[in-house]
Structure 1
Amino acid sequence: MALQTGEGVAIAPPAATRTTSRLFPWAVFTLTFALLLSDYMSRQVLSAVFPFLKTEWALTDTQLGSLTSIVALTVGILAAPLSLLGDRWGRVNSIVIMAIVWSLATVGSALAAGYGQLLLARFLIGLGEAAYGSVGLAVVLAVFAPHRRASLTGAFMAGGSFGSVLGVALGGVFAVQFGWRWAFAIMGILGLVLAVLYRAMISERKLDAHRVPEPAGESPALAAGQRARLSTLFSTPAVVLAYIGGGLQLFIAGSLFAWLPSYLNRAYGMAPDRAGGVAAIFILILGAGMVGCGMITDRLSRTKPMHKWNTAIAFALTSLVLLGVGFAVAPGGLQMALLAAGCFFAAGTTGPTGAMVARLTHESIRATAFGIYTFFNNLLGLAAGPLITGALADRFGLETAMRYVPLVAVAAAVFLYLGRRAYPSSLQRLAAAGVGGTAKGEA
């Protein structure tokens, strides 16, 4: 079987070359996923050292929440413009530069002498991480078939949960054994190592050689090197509602990431390292739910794409019930079981909403589309969650504050339902504009 080389020469490659070609997309996923782990380890190690900072610097819960929210807020504000630069200047180089910035800023967090300096370091971490999720996800989706989008989006974004698990669990251990500054330093050094490895193994040329073409009718015909108009990022009500609904649901995940260790410390009297370890299990379940919910969505929507909206709504409402009851009951075994079940569905909307964003935007600006998606995820979810929950904790206590967190799923479900209703007409609008192909069979 002949194969076109990068120079356009047809040759019959040896078996080893074909094997490498089949494995390259998974190598891309693995390395991009590993950097995402580093991203969230650098971001969430802070949660494990909350008790140390509160004691050493006498910080309020609002200040502690702001140290988490500043990263998510920076990511949200800068994700779209930096993702646009990634689309235009090269996604691989952008990924490497971002990893170096957030890793050096994490090392800088270890040197902070007070709240103000640590807040600045956290801002720089957010600057480095701002477009990584969107550019990284665009790179991954480009080398896999479209029917895997919900699964891949869920799995990739679950890296945030898994990285948070490692950041919280290992951060708690390092902080207890070596001091909280070393918890930051070790995470930063790991990121630098992964950035070097990524640059050595992934290139734009290799990505172009393994890029999977969009299915007929899914994207407009553009001239070589031409990109879709940026206005198409907001051209339909459905994609805007997907942005908002997905972002609101991540308010719950953001609060869990930031405050579960402290909740277990205060409600159960656990030591910081043990609280971090137990919280890590719940966050791991949350990440597994992102993968599992994405796989469920792809299976149910293979022949009827409308089911992506249905599953997203179902996941949001399920998390509302399980977490709402869980935080309402007294600490104990029943609460632990309910919280574990609720965590599985807490971020289950990421796979279906991410897949719908991909379906409703063009590949040439998909990193920018995911940058917009990241903006809403962070502004409405990962930034708002820790900060608002921290403010509620200062006023009512953390145990009471956590009872209000699941209620945000109601708003998320409403916006997703509106997106579901707008989806058929949005597909027709895309088809008429020549951006999304035909809407036939997708309702």
Structure 2
Amino acid sequence: MNTATESRAYRAYVMFILVVVYTFNFIDRQIVGILAIPIKADLALTDTQLSLMGGLAFALFYTLLGIPIAWLADRGNRTWIMTIALAVWSAMTAVCGLAQNFWHLFFARLGVGVGEAGGVAPAYSLIADYFPPHQRARALAVYSFGIPIGGALGIVLGGVLSSIAGWRTAFIVVGVVGLLLAPLFRLTVREPRRGQYDTPGQDTAPVSIATVFKTLVGKPSFWTLSFGAACSSMIGYGLIFWLPSFFVRSFGAALPEFFNWLPDALLPGGGDVVLYASYFYGSILLIGGLCGIWLGGMIADRIGARSKAAYAQIPAVAFVIAVPFFVVGVMSENLGLAFFAFLTPTALSLVWLGPVLSAFQHLVTPNMRTTASAIFLFINNLIGIGLGNLVIGAISDVLNARYGVESLRYAILFGTVFYLAAAGLLFIAAKKLEKDWEH
């Protein structure tokens, strides 16, 4: 086998293992969405407490530690940092299964956030050094497959394991499997040379966080892209966390009938409403997510070669189109209609990942990429994870006196306005991208 073929094969393997790690990142991050149903009953929590545990508890240290860890990654071995991060967040996921009250679970989720702070920004930088510029939107889109795969697996595995052995066992099992993956990642993924596919002469020497900030201050598109993505993540993370509960509360009686064709082997313990909800939303997230992410990356690589503005315009248009579909899905009384109504906007709402993440890698030189990505993730996740779950949960509690179990339906409906805000910010970013691009 010649060197070029070996290089392509190894790059494919690196992408595969990065997707697997990102999948576990999202399994551990989102499994709490489906487990929120039995956790609420077992620990007697309110929707606001669930949202704090599922959102703010995770986002607090995840965002705060992301930038200093990225600063280290711009100077040191990114694969070692990712290995340690994977081990820490997996261990803390297992600890969640030992929680006896709200505060135990809250601090365990803080620990998951501590670990995951080192899992994503270094991966973005690694991909930029494994793939040339004209392939990066697609490469980052493929990496982002970990979001729908991990989100769907987290929801389905959580539902299955919870039905078989309870929510505590679900946390412990996925945490232990992640721990086993960590040494495999470290032993098989090499640290690439920084900037090896970029224009010769671009800086690769380490720089300070202050220098990165100074560079980004002069690039307005970075900030409008970041806050636009954060607005979309606010409702996106909120939906991943709350939609399983919504389907149980609003469609609980219809879910078993919708899946009456399933074989008994897929219904451990005879099946319960949580398991049916996990299959229902897991299917939507997996199918819609994979299609939307790949579509965004493919279109961006093709059109972006002619117009840098496309990296922001493509997802902006997708957000606008997604909103009416979400409204139909949320307000539907028919489960079959709700399935297809949610499938389309789930795809459209994730189109942004390939184009926007690729744009971030081109707004700075190679020696700033990990830190710049971490600054974006700080904004995106503090607002998206920290506030998305909380806002929907708090609104649901406020509306509970009037709408009862249907309060979550109207809280989710309110949240869709953030997709329109995201679209507006991305259209603004499109006007500045060409000027801010590092050619």
Give the 3-state SS of the residue equivalent to 2:75 in structure 1.
helix
One-letter amino acid of the structure 1 residue matched with residue 423 of structure 2? A
Q: Which residue of 2 aligns with 1:6?
A: none
- Is it true that 1:119 corresponds to 2:106 in the alignment? yes
| 8 A Cα contact 2:152 2:282, kept in partner | yes
Q: Which residue of 1 aligns with 2:169?
A: 182
In 2, Cα distance between the equivalents of 1:357 and 1:399?
Answer: 35
In 1, Cα distance between the equivalents of 2:397 and 2:432?
Answer: 40
Q: Which residue of 1 aligns with 2:216?
A: 233
Q: Please point out which of 222, 232, 236 is paired with 1:249.
A: 232
In 1, Cα distance between the equivalents of 2:13 and 2:310?
Answer: 30
Give how far 1:36 is off. Answer: 0.8
Q: Which residue of 2 aligns with 1:63?
A: 49
Give ranges in structure 2 of 5+ residues lacking alignment.
256-272, 400-406
Residues 253-304 of structure 1: per-residue CA shift (max 9 Å, x gap) = 1012101111110110140011011111121134211222221222222222
| 8 A Cα contact 1:286 1:346, kept in partner | no
| 8 A Cα contact 1:283 1:343, kept in partner | yes
| 8 A Cα contact 1:143 1:211, kept in partner | no
Q: Which region of structure 1 is more displaced relative to structure 2, 153-162 or 194-203?
A: 153-162
Q: Percent identity?
A: 27
Give the TM-score taking structure 2 as reference length. Answer: 0.88
Give how far 1:17 is off. Answer: 4.8
C-alpha change, 1:226 and 1:126, in structure 2 (3 Å) is closer
- Is it true that 1:265 corresponds to 2:248 in the alignment? yes
Report the number of matched residues. 408
Q: Please point out which of 48, 54, 70 is paired with 1:83.
A: 70
Matched ranges for 1:15-26 at <5 A: 15=1, 17-26=3-12
One-letter amino acid of the structure 2 residue matched with residue 213 of structure 1? Y
Give how far 1:374 is off. Answer: 1.1
| 8 A Cα contact 2:33 2:244, kept in partner | yes
Give the 3-state SS of the residue equivalent to 1:132 in structure 2.
coil
Give the 3-state SS of the residue equivalent to 1:200 in structure 2.
helix
Matched ranges for 1:42-441 at <5 A: 42-69=28-55, 70-204=57-191, 207-208=192-193, 212-215=196-199, 221-222=202-203, 225-227=205-207, 229-230=211-212, 231-269=214-252, 270=255, 271-288=273-290, 289-396=292-399, 397-427=407-437, 436-437=438-439
C-alpha change, 1:116 and 1:226, in structure 2 (3 Å) is closer
C-alpha change, 1:62 and 1:242, in structure 2 (3 Å) is same
Give how far 1:16 is off. Answer: 5.4
Give how far 1:211 is off. Answer: 6.3
| 8 A Cα contact 2:133 2:197, kept in partner | no
Q: Which residue of 2 aligns with 1:31?
A: 17
In 2, Cα distance between the equivalents of 1:339 and 1:387?
Answer: 22
Give how far 1:309 is off. Answer: 1.9
| Regions of 4+ moved over 6 Å | none
C-alpha change, 1:405 and 1:286, in structure 2 (3 Å) is farther
In 2, Cα distance between the equivalents of 1:359 and 1:17?
Answer: 28
Residues 114-133 of structure 1: per-residue CA shift (max 9 Å, x gap) = 11111111000000001311
Give how far 1:336 is off. Answer: 2.2
Give how far 1:200 is off. Answer: 1.0
Give the 3-state SS of the residue equivalent to 2:177 in structure 1.
helix
Q: Which region of structure 1 is more displaced relative to structure 2, 397-406 or 300-309?
A: 300-309
Give how far 1:181 is off. Answer: 1.0
Give the 3-state SS of the residue equivalent to 2:432 in structure 1.
helix
Q: Which region of structure 1 is more displaced relative to structure 2, 38-47 or 15-24?
A: 15-24
Give the TM-score taking structure 1 as reference length. Answer: 0.88
One-letter amino acid of the structure 2 residue matched with residue 283 of structure 1? L
Residues 406-426 of structure 1: per-residue CA shift (max 9 Å, x gap) = 110111111111111233443
C-alpha change, 1:324 and 1:73, in structure 2 (3 Å) is farther
Q: Which residue of 2 aligns with 1:10?
A: none
Residues 55-109 of structure 1: per-residue CA shift (max 9 Å, x gap) = 1111001111111102134322322222112212221110011011001101111
Q: Which region of structure 1 is more displaced relative to structure 2, 252-261 or 19-28?
A: 19-28
One-letter amino acid of the structure 1 residue matched with residue 171 of structure 2? F
Give the 3-state SS of the residue equivalent to 1:383 in structure 2.
helix
One-letter amino acid of the structure 2 residue matched with residue 421 of structure 1? K
